[in-house]
Structure 1
Amino acid sequence: MRRPLVRRTRLLSRLDEAVGAGLSVVSAPPGFGKTALVLQFVDGLDYNVRWIDVSAACASPEPFAQHLASAIVGPDAPFPAAIAGKLTDLKAYVDAAIRQASWATDQPLCIVVDNVHYLSDSPESVELLEWLFDRLPQDAELIISGRETIPSRVFDRRIAGGLCLLIEKEDLTFTIDEVEALIAIETKDNSRPELTPDAVSVFDRSGGWPIGAAAIISGAWAPERLGRSAERASWERYLAGDVWSSVPVELKRPMQLASVAPALDEALAIELMGATDWQRLNDWLDRHDFVFEYLPNSQMRVNPLLRGYQAGIFQREDPEAFDAAVVTICAHLEAHGAIAEAMEAAREWQHYDALTGLLERQGPALLYQGSLTLLGRAYDGLPAPRRNASPMVAAVRARVLAQQGEVIDALAEADRVANSADSDAEARLQALLARERALRYTGRVDQEQQVFDDLREMTADASALDRAEVAFAEAEFAMWVAGELQQASEALVRCIGIAQEASAYKLELLARSTLGQLNAMRGNGPAAVEELVRAASGWRTVASSGNLGWTLNNLGMAYLLVGDFHSALTTLTEAVSEGKRGGNPRNQAYATASLGDSELALGNYERARDRYSEALRLCTGGIKDDTLESLSLAGMSATLLNLGSENISQADYWVERALTVSRERGSPFDLATCLMQKGLIESALGTHDMAIERMKAATTIFTIADSGAGLRLAHYRLAMCYFAADRKADADAALRDLAGHCAEAWMFGSLLGAVRERPLFAQWAASRNVLGMAFKSIVAQHAFEQPEESQDDVASFPDVEAWSLGRLEVQVDGHTISDEQWASTRAKELFYLFLANPDGLRKEEAVESIYPDLPREKCNSAFHSNLYRIRKALYPDSIIKRNGTYLLNPEGSFKWDVTEFETKLERALTLEPASDERANAFRNALQLYRGPFAEAFFSEWAASQRSRLANRTQEALSVLAGYYAGKADYEAAADCMQKLLEADRFNEEAAYQLASYRVQGGNRAAALAFLDEYRRGYESEYGAGIPGRFTQLRGRIAAGAAI
């Protein structure tokens, strides 16, 4: 790939300085070198750079999400967009890609989104980009570049607040120095220097406009034709009179063909124009590279200022060849899986035949993927007569309209296709599916049932995917509209089998998730757990759908059914996280409320109240869900009732609110649950008859709804109310009714919360020998069990321990960080620099210490890339930023042998000189000094640290030697001097004292041998004789004189 010629150092420095802010914006009209500048910046950047070249197709959020994922994860991104036309699913999809890429490399992410202006008219795509920015790891960078800033409150707020870098056309305008640099490069092989353009003249005539300057220098733009101060408005005249006329005749058609394509790679270029013309065009472009923009993915595109003009000439001069080129481009893109780009190319050039064909072939598959906005945009590109001429196009459009809630138009379109003699079986089937979805919105149950009768007659010869979709639609109808749960179960099982046949894995997972939810609704806890565990595992593998959070929430509720409340807590906590991560507040709210149910059953009433409060807060924050609201209100009432009788009035207030919601808008299940809670309050108030009537009403509703779990709980609480009213015979009868609905031991598990509510009644119920040993076991273990202490979520960080005296090693929770995990010696050194500066460092201080010789425009990005490596090697919050200073997390645990060594030395210095306690303190400190500090680091700061610690060690050894000598333990004193010499071989004072201590210890021979060895080494090292005092000392020792 060609690289930009002029290195724009002043702008590259600004981009580097902005690293760490997380966002940089480059915005200017065409021809200012935006892409070229960003390419220069990321070239050689110590980041994992991912480049997204936004096309017009990205105005639909589904292809934009796929572009993002493919760029972030790589060309083999394993997941297409999720089933459902919901932005939350696309957010989960993008989030999964970010998580997959973030920890797959030892470099932080830098994501470049080029041509971002194509998103301006798509609020959903802009929201997806905002989501990407919000979800990026703390060390990642986002660079967005385009002809204009996009309408985004998130980005506008950061630009207006000076929180990110903004480079505009005034910044991108060439300086005279940059014009001179470009002239020098472009004319370096010029054999006629007198023809070299003058920099001042080029600058004056181009106004510093980069593409204008390049055109003048190349000779494609003749200055004398335009005079001074060329205006931007003259660009079309420039195209017609200069650049286009400068293209050799034999290359005009290849240039036109290239202009039709949104982007060009070698394969498409050869397919369009042939290998010979492609090579000739490439050779010409080497000398006129301002005509094309070169992209990181081995693609190129005609400069947008030229593209429309050249393609327009082509379309007017030879419409047949132009149409053929569009067909070739669309077919090439479709064959390579770029369906959205193919549709956008056909839409851009108004090639209705190509667009119709794409919709006919790809429409059903795009529906399955949930690409509703993409399909809608494609349909909008067709005139109504062309849409209506194709039954399949019209049928799929009807399904899109139905999914979007456009009921009247969807029904009209579907009926037209279904009744048309021109419609084949596939088009009619799609039309009937559209009609079924539209009828569901209107509540026309009888007509909807008739649609399914018609669909059953058609599915015998339909594809496996169509049959699976019909089966799933039947299940949804039976489950949510008709209330026929057994019929829904059979349809879901059928859908799973057909989806496996069709290799429609996501539809299979969707059916499994729904079947698990259905089993939970019917009270079959084990079956629900089994199905939902399989579904959750599958959604994790897909890693691209908000369906994981929904499935985990249902799994948590299934665990509640079987009494496994601890598994419910774990699962629902993950469901809350998934809701947050996928930007799905509804999933988050449901999981939070279910967490309240778990805490309530475990007796953690304060924590349960907090969970329900949070769920209700999310409800008032824009989530309109009557079931969630009524059940959270009822849960709040239950927690208040269990927190003490003084809260009864508040509990009654909350349950009355719940009853109001459930009666007006809720489901029968919601109403029955609220009636049970109202009955408990009335029982506590002593109005027993009313309490009993509430419980009976709840029992009846749960029976009709075929809700086994609710029915079991209602029977138990009815017995409890009878018992409180002193009607023990009726209580006994209610318990017998309960026993009839508890055929298996697990069915008693969901009663645990009720057992804790009234432990005395639970004991009495167990003593009746009606409910069997399983219930007795629950009562014996849990009736009077104290609830587990519930702690607030506290960030718990791993323990980090580092050694640098004699060895370099860092452990996290006892596991050594390997060099591969550090990924860079600089990263490891930067971590030790933070250890040496516990109060923190400003970025400039760290850069000066670690990278003294690195070019200025590279320092900032190098700092942040190694900061990322530290966080990845240790844990994400190991380094924090506070008031412009980077430091080790004060809440973390960091143990360092240097700190421990110096702390012990300082303590020793505070003790009484020559005391045994002081000597022991020095000995303990010196045991930590196993060698020089960090010999693998050669920076000035490390050398200074090495010298300082060595000096402190020598001082400690000297003090300790003096202590031993004072105690006449001359061998120990000599050993101290020996250790000093190991660190500093020619330390004269240590050598002199060592020989003296050997003599005083009675070992003259050892002293003489040491002095002789020291003399030879000294003379060899320094080329001079040993100092005279050593010669004198040796003479006295040899003569036996006292020392």
Structure 2
Amino acid sequence: MAWFTPISQTKIIVPQRRKELLSRPRLLALLDDLLDFKLIIIAAPAGYGKTSLMIDYATSYDWPVAWLALDPLDQNLTRFLTYFISAIQQRFPNFGIKSNAAMQSLSEDQLNIDFLVTSITNDIFENITEHFIVVLDDYHLINQGKEIDAFLSSFLQKVSENFHLVVTSRTLLTLPDLPLLVARSQVGGLSLEELVFQPDEIKKLFEKNHNVEISTGTAETYARQSEGWITGLLLTAQMGGKGIGDHTKVTRASGIGLYEYLAQQVLDQQSIEIQQFLLWSSLLEEFNPEMCRQIIGQALNLECNWQTLMEDIVFNNLFVVRIGEDGFWLRYHHLFRDFLQHRMETLHPKETYTILQKLAEYHTKLQDWERVFIIYSKLGDIDTIINLVETIGSSFIAKGKIKRLENWFANIPEEKIRINPKLLSIKASIEVNKGNLPVGLDLLNAAIELQQQVETDKILVAENLVRRSTTLRLLGKYQDSLSDAQQALNLFNTIKKRNPIKAEAMRAIGINYYQQGKLEDALAWMQKSLHLYQGLNSQEDSARILVELGAIQETLGNFDEAEKAYNLSLQFWKQIGDSIWQSNLYNNLGVLQHAKSDFENSFVNLEKAMDYAKLSGNRRMEGYSLASIGDLYKDLDAYHESLDAYSEAMKIAQSIEDQYLVLYLRLAETRIKILQKQFKQATTLLDLAFNQAKRSSSQLESEQCKVEKAILTYYFGDLAAASVMFSESRDFFKSIGQSDTLFTIELYLAVVLAKSKRAKESAEIFHEIARALTQPFSNAQILSVCFDLRNDLKSISGQAGIAEYIEIILDQNQAYQKKIQNVRRKIRKHASVVPFAAPKLIIRGFGKTEVYLNNKLLSTSDWMTQTSRDLFFLFLSNPEGMTKEEVGLILWPDSSMEELKRRFKNAIYRMRRAIGSNAVIFNDNYYRFNNALDFEYDVLSFEQNIAQAENEKDTQKAVTLYETAIELYKGPFLPDVDATWFSMERQRYFEIYLNTLQKLYSFHLKQNELEKALEINKLILQNDPSNEEAYCNAMSIYHGLGNTAAIIRVYEQCKQQLSKEYGLKPSEQTVQHFQSLIQPKS
């Protein structure tokens, strides 16, 4: 679990706007324009108003702003991320649950930046549906944090477009991928050139804060002398406008001479009481009255009215900033704070030491260990640092805070470590965790030797013995490891109280037996360890033991017990949100369920394993999960999809140089290529696998290659050679008890023997296979290999001595085939990691507005607002592209420019969130639908068919195109959208549709295809029920068909419709046409 610092709320709340803060519309407008970028850098030397600008913006504009005031302690990545997440959560309470769970799932020294970036960006995407700003104030204070630079660099490339980061800093940023972000037009900024105060702003400053009007000339003089440095201007204002002189110019950005100036013109002008309080309180960084009482009051044995003193420095405007929602906490401007601390340490070293001692005690109670360590290091208190390491060292090791401990050890003299067994043991654990096993073993040997000389605490001795047992096991020294674990356990014979070290000793014994193949002994010891941990109510340790118990049960073939153990462990890791453990367990469960032929649950869990592997950034687990999915698909007779999964897994395996996985995938792909009769490719893959196994000097890997070689030899038709090879492989795998591979060998061997007319030998093997298949439980491996060989088995089904066995196998094959077909249909609907069908975007604009993504209908909740959906269709209807302003005229015609900017940002973000970030592209100020996507759009198809028909010289082909077009028109264009522009488009498409129907009617009438002409005419009347011409056409067709009753019926319908719609009668022309058709021929 990653380390969490106590959260100081004052760091993550937007500072209160001070009354003397001068708003600078010029800069606010520049900043507002810059918020089209993801990263905005405000870089300038100290004192140019960077923070004030952001406070002004945050309190003047409607943008949601999350704030993080940085300090040097935040250079630690874990601490930084904890505050970063908390700052956003402060503004958006629904955010942060998944991000914090991701932090908790990792140890501090194994923080996976990719995993954390993925977790936090997903959290933002799922829980924040509007554009917002995160301000990192004073980023230069953590400029040594290269891990933080790496995090932000990756984060900015992956976070959704609604996120905007504003960084204020005295120095330029050094993000690794900053040039790439710049090239992608994702970076903007303000520099010293923009931030310097202009003469008109100086005039307003003096008018606002001191009711003093200065001339334009004077303002220009001040601007020239100060070079626009705001701190110099504020200092001048603080001194009552006595004149700037050359002070600000001399001290401007570098701080040279600033301390002397602050001493003479600020500090020395205060009362002695205020001077003392300023110096004392500067050591606290940020403070409130109660903190002053507990630290300064107790350290110096003082009784003061701390509240009054705080009010006085605020009233006197002594470069103090209110923090916290109620302004109860204060901190000084960093320049003034640095000056006060320097003066306090120089003039009052004894009082400084005493106050810092109390400050360390205060933070110790809060368990803010980083601050505690920095304070004691500053004080040079080595003994206290040693006590601190001894007290919390084991806890830090358990929680993975190895780097932090290692940094602390750097401050402890080596001679003090050598004579302290606790320190030696903790340092040994650091080395073991870093992979320096021999060094760790030497340190543990020294620690145990010292303890045996002087130590009386048996628990501490046992703890070191267990640590050494683990180190010895990792070094492959199993007997020595077992001896240490047993010795540690023996020390508890006289201790009745339950202790986790005893449980760890039992676990150490169990793991030793497991790795030596003594499975029953391993199971017994693991169960004892689990029982003790459960008695101690240690849920995390119990969950860890359950995973190991599951692995032992699975190896023993007790699949139900293994699955039960995995599920129990999974419940805990799900509860605390540990993605790494969940990905491992879901993969274990998926593989186990696959073996049990529980294909549907296997599929669900393997997809979950992949999801959690991606979430945690665990590339290795991604590779193994993909391999497991490939294995499942192969056994579901989905070879193409299986090869896709193996291919993706291979990319990962090679990138992380996991040679075991590379070999596994090569052999798995070889098998499929053999079954597909692609023997040349199979041979190439197998040669690669043999070479790899040879380099590793692994007999098992070489034998696995030989099995595939034997299968390939069989398909080449060399039965004699195949028989020899299968027999040799059978002997090896029988000796090591690998039953799955052994079954594959025996089934192929039985077929080879049958085809070689060695009936008796083959009958013996087939008998055992048939018996295994009729058991209540059959391993999927058995069923799968039988299915692979179904045609070969049919070819020998009539042989005497084996016919009855082959019949049983073929019956099982038939049942297996039905089962996997059913499973395939179900998986096809849900597969996302390696889909059975390519994803497709289907868009419906006629009749009912619908968008399907990967065969899933996007609901209102997916779009979040109808406006975001309407914006999508607006871009679809304007393939040439639209500017933001053109969109605004249609969707928000009455909005101001500021409102338009905000509404457009949120609408396009929600649209991309629903349909995909690449659905609409931006180029040269135009937003366009990305027609490179794999999509179908009925409106576009309608237009394309009409256009092709218009240009088609072949009349019959043109008719087919027109018919295709009218089939696509299911009703009005976007019927549920009211905007004027859409109404115009709706009418335009309707007229095209009617015109097309008229052309088809004319064609069929000309061809004397009266029935077809009548059907088209009915469509015209359905869509335009008051069209008198269409009624006349219908009557004419019925006349041609000799149906007088229909003519009368159509005429009556015409009368009723015109009366109902307009209160009119049919025209004289229509009446005459009707009468001419019904009059008997003379």
Q: TM-score, normalised by structure 2?
A: 0.75
Query: 2:247 aligns to what?
Result: 226
Q: 1:644 to 1:894 in 2, by over 3 A?
A: closer
Query: 1:600 aligns to what?
Result: 634
1:403 CA drift (Å): 0.2
1:969 CA drift (Å): 6.7
Q: 1:91 to 1:195 in 2, by over 3 A?
A: same
What is the one-letter code of the residue matched to 1:403?
Answer: N
Q: 1:237 to 1:771 in 2, by over 3 A?
A: farther
What is the one-letter code of the residue matched to 1:66?
Answer: T
1:437 CA drift (Å): 4.4
2:670–2:686 contact (8 Å) kept in structure 1: yes
Pick from 129, 136, 156 the counterpart of residue 133 of structure 1.
156
What is the one-letter code of the residue matched to 1:406?
Answer: N
1:116–1:146 contact (8 Å) kept in structure 2: yes
Structure 1: distance between partners of 2:702 and 2:548: 22
2:629–2:645 contact (8 Å) kept in structure 1: yes
1:661 CA drift (Å): 3.2
1:402 CA drift (Å): 1.2
Pick from 867, 880, 902 the counterpart of residue 920 of structure 2.
880
1:644 CA drift (Å): 0.9
Query: 1:372 aligns to what?
Result: 402
Structure 2: distance between partners of 1:466 and 1:276: 51
Query: 1:210 aligns to what?
Result: 230
Query: 2:838 aligns to what?
Result: 794
1:755–1:782 contact (8 Å) kept in structure 2: no
1:117–1:146 contact (8 Å) kept in structure 2: yes
Matched, 1:2 2:16: yes
Structure 2: distance between partners of 1:953 and 1:89: 57
What is the one-letter code of the residue matched to 1:620?
Answer: Q
1:276 CA drift (Å): 3.9
Pick from 888, 900, 905 the counterpart of residue 864 of structure 1.
905
Pick from 702, 715, 721 the counterpart of residue 684 of structure 1.
715
Structure 2: distance between partners of 1:292 and 1:20: 30
Query: 1:166 aligns to what?
Result: 189
Q: 1:114 to 1:551 in 2, by over 3 A?
A: farther
Structure 2: distance between partners of 1:977 and 1:210: 80
**Paired residue secondary structure (2:127):** coil
Query: 1:629 aligns to what?
Result: 662
Matched, 1:779 2:813: yes
Query: 2:310 aligns to what?
Result: 281
Aligned ranges for residues 700-715 of structure 1 at < 5 Å?
A: 702-703=733-734, 705-715=736-746
Query: 2:651 aligns to what?
Result: 617
1:393 CA drift (Å): 4.5
1:72–1:101 contact (8 Å) kept in structure 2: no
1:756 CA drift (Å): 3.0
Kindly tell me the number of residue pairs found equivalent between the two proteins. Answer: 963
Structure 2: distance between partners of 1:47 and 1:137: 16
Structure 2: distance between partners of 1:637 and 1:952: 57
Structure 1: distance between partners of 2:419 and 2:1059: 100
1:796 CA drift (Å): 3.8
What is the one-letter code of the residue matched to 1:678?
Answer: K
Aligned ranges for residues 467-506 of structure 1 at < 5 Å?
A: 467=502, 469-480=504-515, 482-502=516-536, 504-506=538-540
* More contact order relative to length (CA 8 Å, sep ≥ 6): 1
1:82–1:89 contact (8 Å) kept in structure 2: no
1:150 CA drift (Å): 4.7
1:322 CA drift (Å): 3.4
Matched, 1:235 2:268: no
1:724 CA drift (Å): 5.1
Pick from 843, 851, 856 the counterpart of residue 884 of structure 2.
843
What is the one-letter code of the residue matched to 1:684?
Answer: Y
Structure 2: distance between partners of 1:215 and 1:589: 61
**Paired residue secondary structure (1:595):** helix
Q: 1:619 to 1:953 in 2, by over 3 A?
A: closer
Query: 2:1027 aligns to what?
Result: 960
Pick from 667, 671, 676 the counterpart of residue 638 of structure 1.
671
1:726-752 Cα distance to aligned partner (Å, 9 max, x none): 434333444566689889533332223
**Paired residue secondary structure (1:31):** coil
1:436–1:451 contact (8 Å) kept in structure 2: yes
2:279–2:341 contact (8 Å) kept in structure 1: yes
What is the one-letter code of the residue matched to 2:712?
Answer: I
1:404 CA drift (Å): 0.7
Query: 2:1072 aligns to what?
Result: none
What is the one-letter code of the residue matched to 1:410?
Answer: G
Aligned ranges for residues 45-64 of structure 1 at < 5 Å?
A: 49-64=65-80
- Identify which range, 734-743 or 469-478, moves more after superposition: 734-743
1:391–1:417 contact (8 Å) kept in structure 2: yes
1:754 CA drift (Å): 1.6
**Paired residue secondary structure (1:405):** coil
* Unmatched tracts of structure 1, length 5 or more: 909-917, 980-993, 1002-1043
Q: 1:185 to 1:903 in 2, by over 3 A?
A: farther
1:807-829 Cα distance to aligned partner (Å, 9 max, x none): x99999998966x8876686576
Query: 1:446 aligns to what?
Result: 479
**Paired residue secondary structure (1:644):** coil
Pick from 27, 31, 34 the counterpart of residue 43 of structure 2.
27
- Identify which range, 623-632 or 549-558, moves more after superposition: 549-558
What is the one-letter code of the residue matched to 1:405?
Answer: G
2:530–2:542 contact (8 Å) kept in structure 1: yes
Structure 2: distance between partners of 1:977 and 1:338: 85
Matched, 1:746 2:777: yes
Pick from 584, 591, 600 the counterpart of residue 557 of structure 1.
591
What is the one-letter code of the residue matched to 2:675?
Answer: N
Structure 2: distance between partners of 1:637 and 1:139: 47
Q: 1:502 to 1:97 in 2, by over 3 A?
A: farther
Query: 1:82 aligns to what?
Result: 105
Query: 1:403 aligns to what?
Result: 433
1:425–1:458 contact (8 Å) kept in structure 2: yes
Pick from 453, 457, 471 the counterpart of residue 490 of structure 2.
457
1:174 CA drift (Å): 3.0
2:846–2:972 contact (8 Å) kept in structure 1: no
**Paired residue secondary structure (2:260):** helix
Q: 1:636 to 1:743 in 2, by over 3 A?
A: same
2:104–2:578 contact (8 Å) kept in structure 1: yes
Q: 1:71 to 1:441 in 2, by over 3 A?
A: farther
2:486–2:509 contact (8 Å) kept in structure 1: no
1:51–1:113 contact (8 Å) kept in structure 2: yes
- Identify which range, 632-641 or 176-185, moves more after superposition: 176-185
Structure 2: distance between partners of 1:970 and 1:286: 91
Matched, 1:665 2:685: no
1:532–1:555 contact (8 Å) kept in structure 2: yes
Matched, 1:305 2:335: yes
Q: TM-score, normalised by structure 1?
A: 0.77
Aligned ranges for residues 195-206 of structure 1 at < 5 Å?
A: 199-206=219-226
Structure 2: distance between partners of 1:387 and 1:221: 60
Q: 1:176 to 1:101 in 2, by over 3 A?
A: same
Aligned ranges for residues 421-436 of structure 1 at < 5 Å?
A: 421=454, 424-425=457-458, 427-436=460-469
- Identify which range, 492-501 or 551-560, moves more after superposition: 492-501
1:632 CA drift (Å): 1.5
1:239 CA drift (Å): 4.0
Structure 1: distance between partners of 2:314 and 2:217: 20
- Identify which range, 844-853 or 956-965, moves more after superposition: 956-965
Q: 1:814 to 1:510 in 2, by over 3 A?
A: closer
Q: 1:467 to 1:780 in 2, by over 3 A?
A: same
1:333–1:339 contact (8 Å) kept in structure 2: yes
Query: 1:104 aligns to what?
Result: 127
How high is the sequence identity, in percent, across the aligned residues? 17
**What is the alpha-carbon root mean square deviation over aligned residues?**
5.2
What is the one-letter code of the residue matched to 1:960?
Answer: N
Pick from 604, 609, 617 the counterpart of residue 575 of structure 1.
609
What is the one-letter code of the residue matched to 1:679?
Answer: A
**Paired residue secondary structure (1:32):** coil
Structure 1: distance between partners of 2:414 and 2:1059: 98
Structure 2: distance between partners of 1:765 and 1:183: 104
2:766–2:805 contact (8 Å) kept in structure 1: yes
